[in-house]
Structure 1
């Protein structure tokens, strides 16, 4: 059996090279059978979610490291920088254009593990930035904040067309105050 971290690293590299994941080709690159690959990851969607999350963690850390300030200003700065970093990566644009249904399934469904990771990360950004409140309320606000930010990141996929960060900023800020 292949080590999970080796599989994820190989899958992320494959995605960055091809802007998609072809399970047959990936299995060959990892020198395992297709059946072994599926046993290890469950499904292509699950693997894509893990790859997207691995990449997002790096971008979130970079954005958080670059953002200054505290409170709502810091949360907005992290979001703006993250949006710019993701927008500068052609792989996601290519993937969304080529596989919009798969992208929507992996990025937006409540059952997708990626969504849970993203909400947890947004909640951590709130707390690290000094946003306070009841934990259940903060989690709900983090989920709403994330949905609004997704409109900026993936507006065309959601059917709303492109949305500039500046247009969404007042709604994002409204979720950061009691």
Structure 2
């Protein structure tokens, strides 16, 4: 049986209040899907317009999906999950090199996603608050997923995070990713996945990694 991908780990290990509600409430899921569609199309998620589209009042919508920030955070994470999965599938190395590869591809995909750049440009302050602060559901979940990635390599004796814990290393790597993904908002520099890779390598020092055999697509 094929092991769970990173995004699947993240979904299972770090749910949110809203993600649990989406599983149990069809109306909440319908509202979430509509909001996600708008976001990917580059539109601003407007709670009033969304309520009108669904034929409900704003009170019902807020009861289903929380406030706008909660809904935006869930949409952002739902897009991060397949991005993490794709990054993990594309990387065939192990140990520190796997961690570097996955995070570099993830960072590059964030930088290149047009709908994501539109959101950062349109609502820079909100974007940084929802993505990079200690109260951020997105950051909390991403750190947990990266810690899982580190734990997988550590358990297989292919990477040792000591003297830090897996979570401490994960927090550092996520901060590096944020610094280069949102560089235009933070420092005025252009976002740069290559420089992010250099920073990941500087911290993790990957050396002559082994190659993982490709996953069997026919496996359960």
Structure 2 length as normaliser, TM-score? Answer: 0.72
The CA distance in 1 between the partners of 2:133 and 2:174, in whole Å, is: 13
The CA distance in 1 between the partners of 2:186 and 2:140, in whole Å, is: 19
How many residue pairs match? The answer is 178
Structural mapping, 1:122-141, within 5 Å: 122-129=146-153, 130-133=158-161, 137-141=165-169
Q: Residue 173 in 1 paired to residue 201 in 2?
A: yes
The CA distance in 2 between the partners of 1:42 and 1:134, in whole Å, is: 40
Are the equivalent residues in 1 in contact too, given 2:104–2:196 (CA < 8 A)? no
The residue aligned with 2:96 is: 72
Aligned residue among 184, 187, 204 for 1:156: 184
CA offset digits 1:78-105 (Å, max 9, x no partner): 1222223222321111111111111111
Aligned residue among 45, 57, 70 for 1:46: 70
CA offset digits 1:85-144 (Å, max 9, x no partner): 222321111111111111111111111211111101111222334433469711011001
Change over 3 Å in CA distance of 1:101–1:54 after alignment to 2: same
Q: 5+ residue gaps in structure 1? A: none
Structure 1 length as normaliser, TM-score? Answer: 0.88
Structural RMSD (CA) = 2.3
Higher relative CO (CA 8 A, sep ≥ 6), structure 1 or 2?
2
The residue aligned with 1:35 is: 59
Structure with higher Rg: it is 2
Q: 5+ residue gaps in structure 2? A: 1-24, 206-220
